[in-house]
Amino acid sequence: MDDQKVSRKEFLKKAALGTAGITLGLSAKSYSNIIGANDRIHFAIVGLHNRGKAHMAAANQVPNAQIDYVCDVDSRVLTQAASHAKELTGNTVKTEKDIRRLVEQKDIDAITVATPDHWHTPMTLLGVQNGKHVYVEKPCCHNPAEGEMLVAAQQKYNKVIQMGTQTRSAPGSFQAIHDIRDGLIGEVYMGKAWYSNDRTSIGVGKQAPVPDWLDWNLWQGPAPHEPYEDIWVHYNWHWFWNWGTGEINNNGIHEMDICRWALGLDDKHPIKVTSSGGRYAFNDDWQFYDTQVASFEYEGDKMISWEGKSCNPFKYHGRGRGLTIHGTKGTVMLESDSHIYRAYDLEGNKIREMIDRESNRDTTSIAGTDYINTLHFENFANAIREGVNPHSPIDVSYKSNLLCHLGNYAQKTGDTLHINPENGHIKNNPEAMKMWEREYEPGWEPKV
């Protein structure tokens, strides 16, 4: 086959007519309180460090939408974000520290959640229970039981819940899936994902006075409360079990999610999970794994693997992160750094390419701001206004999130986990199943 290039302009024209001809296997939703195609969406942005800044930028680009509230437990960033939002939008936004009071406001249509992981599910539940649609960052849940709560809550309250796996909205991803479905590389059977970074040691924490700008009790919220230590806020919480979910959930989830989609596994759970690795690069307080190779096997002879190197930036195929999909007639490669899509035959000849020149960013950046975020937000808004299918609906997204949790649990127990493909639960391993849910600070237990 001759080399074929697909322009973004050509793709988006097709996408406007029907998601580039791709069947996602999802039925159109009929969400409650659809506000109408011509009505303005009123956003509240929750969590204003790093990803919250990307949320603000993306929400501001959504047609006929405005940011009305910002929310954070850090008084410094709350004031800064309100000022930035006014510069960005021309509107004066309201500020709120407590999510419980925020969701009670009647003039909000949707909240976006960019907080530490332990808050993602509780805030999403508070949102839908108070009539709000929710855009929640990955991972959608701190543990699998929370993910099951979110799926049940979406069905009960009939609100849009979109997870922030924004690569599902990338034109290159859509075109790759379209070509895979069209048989370009034959029958697909394996997805390989990777992530490399140059994170340094976080050191050893020590107890310290809580800064006067931080509401530490509210920051911890539903997680069992601990005395404040000086290395946790605002980023290193990722590497502690009480609040975070490790690198596989922090970054691996993006590529693994696309692997599931490409292999036709959106409605499937694995049957076997293994993981190898550890905290190899430094001797410090980091509790998760800076080096990890996790493997997921499915019925029908399909598998996904993820390799994470948090502290060694060596690239594969010249990219710090990405994925390959392997089939009986060739291979597709998606480069997450630039959202470039290329396909190769079995001899290694390039047979198709899509270069999206509008998306070119450093994906090791913790803010992660680019126009793919805007496309994902626009899809979220269209689901609210018109009932179109979200690109990352919670019932699909949770299954990708579950892979990451299972990888961590296989690593922590040192066991091969055998999985019930019907519900994703771990079979015959009580130690691993203890991690399916967590303990909560008394009075903060989330409920559907």
The domains located in the chain, with CATH, are 24-167 (3.40.50.720), 171-202+216-361+394-436 (3.30.360.10)
392-416 pLDDT per residue, tens: 999 999 999 999 999 999 999 999 9
What does residue 32 show for φ and ψ, rounded to 5 degrees? -70, 150
Residue 13: pLDDT above 70? no
The DSSP string of 122-148 is HHHHHHHHTT-EEEEPSSS-SSHHHHH
360-373 pLDDT per residue, tens: 544 444 444 578 99
Is residue 33 within 8 A of residue 349, CB to CB? The reply is no
d(C-alpha 208, C-alpha 230), whole Å: 6
Q: Provide the mean pLDDT of the chain.
A: 91
The DSSP string of 5-66 is E--HHHHHHHHHHHGGG---S-PPP--TT---TTSPEEEEEE--STHHHHHHHHHHHSTTEE
d(C-alpha 36, C-alpha 93), whole Å: 23
134-172 pLDDT per residue, tens: 999 999 999 999 999 999 999 999 999 999 999 999 999
17 or 415, which is more confident?
415
pTM of the complete model: 0.92
Question: H or E element: which one contains 78?
Answer: helix 75-89
d(C-alpha 71, C-alpha 246), whole Å: 25
pLDDT at 264: 98
d(C-alpha 408, C-alpha 241), whole Å: 10
pLDDT at 314: 97
Q: Please state at what angle helix 144-157 crosses helix 394-413, rounded to 10 degrees.
A: 170
Residues β-bridged to residue 326: 190, 331
Structure tokens at 252: 């691996």
d(C-alpha 127, C-alpha 100), whole Å: 9
pLDDT at 1: 36
The alpha carbon dihedral of 349, 353, 358, 364 has a sign of negative
Is residue 102 within 8 A of residue 44, CB to CB? The reply is yes
306-332 pLDDT per residue, tens: 999 999 999 999 999 999 999 999 999
Q: What is the largest CA-CA distance in the chain?
A: 65
pLDDT at 90: 87
278-293 pLDDT per residue, tens: 999 999 999 999 999 9
d(C-alpha 353, C-alpha 372), whole Å: 18
Residues β-bridged to residue 295: 274, 305
d(C-alpha 16, C-alpha 12), whole Å: 6
Residue 7: pLDDT above 60? no
